Structure 1
Amino acid sequence: MGSEGDDSSPSDYDWNTDDELEVFGIPPSDPTISSQESCEDSVGESSASCSSAKHSKLIHLFVGMGFSRETVIKAIDENGRDNEEDIMEALLTLTAEKPLTVEKDEALSVLVNMGYPFEEALTAIDKCGPKAHISELADFISASQLEKGLHSPQESPNNKHDASDYTHEKPCQPSGEYYLHTSKKVKLGLGIFNEASQVISRKFPREVANKPYFYFENVALAPKGVWKTISRFLYEIEPEYVDSKYFCAATRKRGYIHNLPTHNRSPLLPIPPLTIQEAFPTTKKWWPSWDRRTKLNCLLTRVAPGPVTERIRKLLEKFGDEPPLHVQENVLVEIRKWNLVWVGKNKLAPLEPDEYEMLLGFPRDHTRGGGVTRTERYKSLGNAFQVNTVAYHLSVLKGRFPNGINVLSLFSGIGGAEVALHRLGMMLKNVVSVEIAEVNRNIIRSWWEQTNQRGNLIEVEDVQKVSSNELSQWITKFGGFDLIIGGSPCNNISGSNRVSRHGLEGEQSSLFYEYFRIVEAVMEIQRDELL
């Protein structure tokens, strides 16, 4: 996404919104890939240079699968660079012989190289133990940063979305006391339907106490101070943290800031399966006793390559029904990392796109057809709202708009908010959908037509080009927006990004300020129209 005069195109940005740190504990991208692509495109490059780039790409590929860099280099040296299957075979053999854990000094070094402060890395190792996997240690640190971040300031972004351009002259003052349930582990938020927890009452600043309602989502495990900054801009409303494992069979830790009521929430019915075995009953027959998972990890934008499951099958066949404990541990690392399920004896498989749709609360085939590739389906779904979670929050609006609701949907993705409102039985009277990816816009449009929506769908590509004049025209035409909903890109705040995890200073995640700009503009225009 680029502003006028910027040569950037939508394809220049990676719009991933998964919290892959929980699974991988490593950066999802590496400069070595671009050097490889450059090498292939340039006829003048020497063969030695291309060979070096290929070596780097192989290292990145297998480290991205969770193998240690040292083990990957050893396997490549022993098997050469031209046979990825032999390298994978060697890696699985090596890791079967030795659990995928590191001793204290090595773990400390890895965490520090990933960008974590020395003291925080040391604390994580002391709390989790030196045998803990890197992803567990990184998750512990991120959770600690999250807790501290709620009370720590963050420097203002230093880019085109300068925080000073949006700062209020003075902080908004709540009209009364504001209470929020928080806990050391991201868990319940303001009350979950299937958990015994007290629903917390809230009071808001006068300027946001009524509609338009707004609802903002992003990854919970953000760098220190990020949620504090987001809260400061969004009228000093503190985030509600929710793990979608309470609404489906997969975890998905997210933070939400909104001015919605919290009483009388209700879940979508029927309640979806809440465990792996309930969601995929045919897998139970093949599930070994030593795989005790009941929940899947966060659904990612990518799935395991075929060689991973094939090599695990061959490895397990060597040991019969009860592989040694260290083999079990290493296989479980791969299983959790890739969200694999058992589909036969010693046979694992990644989730299918339609299974993603079911877990996320979308209708079957929501992303299928219309020229959408399998890879695009995974990417779009991995970036989507978990519909049941969002619908639970939005359920308080059901009786408030009997004649239909006007929605401004920012960073719409594949229409998670629209699907949630539709499943709640609310008529979508007018929806302005702002989404950069053409494939996602096509998915929303197709769903709109197939569900026979009677309202108006207005599609906009670039959130940065939504002007106050356009907003004013829509507000006049519709009679105002009732709900502004969206989640800006988390590229630079996601725990998986150790390359450019610059928080709200990052090029993509700074688009949060566009969300705030638009919310502020709508609030002001609609306030003026009431005078």
Structure 2
Amino acid sequence: EQGEQETEYSTYHQRLNYYDDDDDNKRVKKAKHIFRDDRGASSSHAVNQPTPWLSGGVGSAGDGYLKEEDYEMTLGPRANVSGELAKPPFFLYGNVVNITKDAWSEISGFLSGVRPEFINSQLFSALMRREGYLHNLPTERRHVVVPKSPMTIEDAVPSTRHYWPTWDTRKHIGSVTSEVAGIEQLCEMLGKTIKDSRGLLSEEKRAQILHQCKMANLIWIGQDRLGPLQPNQMERILGYPSNHTNLFGLNPPDRIAAMKYAFQTDTIAYLLSVLKDIYPDGLRVLSIYSGVGGAEIALHRLGIPLKCVVSVEESDVNRKILKRWWAKTEQSGVLRQLNGIWKLKTDALEDLFKEFGGFDLVVGGNYSSYRGGTTVNATMGMDSSKYFEYVRVLQRVRSMQHFYK
């Protein structure tokens, strides 16, 4: 769109149900299996559950927004990260799915009891989302990445300010949704409701329209006309380069679905910013469940050279997106892509250690398909087996790092 600021490569280089058929034949991994020296790494998955991941009263599935009390931030040092745990290699596991306090306690227990750090991405972008991070990164001397991503919907889509009614007080989106069924008819119905009111919309009608706008991420694209956020606009809000997900043959809903559980890069960059002074010559990164490359892009935006990135990502589409970004930004390091975490057996990790000398950062996020689907365990609200696999690999890397020193 004309007049809209784009995040160019040169500057800094969904609710679709989708499940993996293989998941139905696999059992949830038991915690005792996580830490063993498993040369035949487990490929177990969480059992698919058709229930939504919002649970325990932490939010509303209806409008995508959380209660005020659920936005409590825990920015700052965590007293339980000290000694050997605070030493490299550093790790960061980001979860953008809303889970209960009990679930957080459970997954924290599997990672040396590290307490999660909660951040509202609204502090860094036009996305209002409560995110939790388990990490051992230092917290001193953090800084915000520049240039910053848009802080409001209007900043991300300047053209919408001409049509935005005063009674629509939204400044941020509350989720990344790829719901497309009936969206065109919904926009037509809402537009007709507004026009038929002849400027005299009741408070009740306004509230109903706002509810639909929040659920479907609708914005004002003309006088009394609503439309869904487009992929380029969502990329801008999430801090990705323009057309980052624009692969040949990938339609707009699937492009947005690919970003459903993606990191907001300004938010994760704030946590990772401390690494710039520690590794001025560059990082060796093991990226698990890379998605569309949020962590890699955040590090690049921070100006941290990527010596090597070993990326684990099952989605062929997501791997192509990351590979294309790597080429477009002319990275000088090595990109090694694996199509499944089951390939990271101990023997494979030993080979990677011999090749790269180890890793400085092991980063991971929510596992999902490019179409925005994620398997969930009913007791945790997230794919626990995928998380356990991340922990298994992390523990092996940390123990091997000391050996290779």
> Do the aligned partners of 2:96 and 2:366 also contact (CA within 8 Å) in 1?
no
**Is 2:336 the partner of 1:458?**
yes
Cα offset for 1:500?
Answer: 6.0
Cα offset for 1:376?
Answer: 2.3
Query: Which structure: larger Rg?
Result: 1
Paired residue type of 2:396: A
**Is 2:391 the partner of 1:516?**
yes
Distance 1:470 1:30 in 2: 30
Partner of 1:527: 402
Q: 1:166-177, aligned counterparts within 5 Å?
A: 166=34
Cα offset for 1:167?
Answer: 6.4
3-state SS of paired residue (1:323)? coil
Paired residue type of 1:408: L
Partner of 1:432: 310
RMSD after superposition: 2.7
> Do the aligned partners of 1:264 and 1:396 also contact (CA within 8 Å) in 2?
yes
Choose the corresponding residue for 2:274, options 372, 386, 396: 396
> Do the aligned partners of 2:99 and 2:381 also contact (CA within 8 Å) in 1?
no
Distance 2:309 2:222 in 1: 45
> Do the aligned partners of 2:98 and 2:381 also contact (CA within 8 Å) in 1?
no
Choose the corresponding residue for 1:261, options 116, 119, 138: 138
Partner of 1:228: 105
Partner of 2:94: 217
Partner of 2:354: 476
3-state SS of paired residue (1:413)? coil
Distance 1:313 1:208 in 2: 56
Distance 2:348 2:335 in 1: 15
Choose the corresponding residue for 2:29, options 153, 161, 167: 161
Cα offset for 1:332?
Answer: 1.0
3-state SS of paired residue (2:285)? strand
> Do the aligned partners of 1:159 and 1:505 also contact (CA within 8 Å) in 2?
no
3-state SS of paired residue (2:197)? coil
Choose the corresponding residue for 1:503, options 374, 379, 382: 379
Partner of 2:252: 374
**Is 2:207 the partner of 1:329?**
yes
Q: Deviations over 1:324-377 (max 9, x none)?
A: 111111111111111111111110111000001100000111111333332321
Runs of 4+ in structure 1 deviating by more than 6 angstroms, as ranges, are none
TM, length-normalised to structure 1: 0.62
Partner of 2:195: 317
> Do the aligned partners of 2:178 and 2:260 also contact (CA within 8 Å) in 1?
yes
Partner of 2:301: 423
> Do the aligned partners of 2:90 and 2:137 also contact (CA within 8 Å) in 1?
yes
Distance 2:204 2:337 in 1: 53
The sequence identity of aligned pairs, in percent, is 35
> Do the aligned partners of 2:357 and 2:404 also contact (CA within 8 Å) in 1?
no
Partner of 1:280: 157
Unaligned 5+ segments in structure 1 are 1-17, 21-27, 35-157, 169-182, 191-198
Distance 1:500 1:438 in 2: 21
The verdict on how the C-alpha distance between 1:318 and 1:220 changes in structure 2, with shifts beyond 3 A counting, is: same
Unaligned 5+ segments in structure 2 are 1-13, 37-67
The verdict on how the C-alpha distance between 1:488 and 1:161 changes in structure 2, with shifts beyond 3 A counting, is: farther
Cα offset for 1:203?
Answer: 5.1
Structure with higher helix content: 1
> Do the aligned partners of 1:407 and 1:431 also contact (CA within 8 Å) in 2?
yes
Q: 1:32-71, aligned counterparts within 5 Å?
A: none
Partner of 2:216: 338
> Do the aligned partners of 1:414 and 1:441 also contact (CA within 8 Å) in 2?
yes
Distance 2:171 2:252 in 1: 27
Distance 2:256 2:156 in 1: 19
TM, length-normalised to structure 2: 0.81
Greater relative contact order (Cα < 8 A, sep 6+): 2
Cα offset for 1:473?
Answer: 1.2
> Do the aligned partners of 1:213 and 1:259 also contact (CA within 8 Å) in 2?
yes
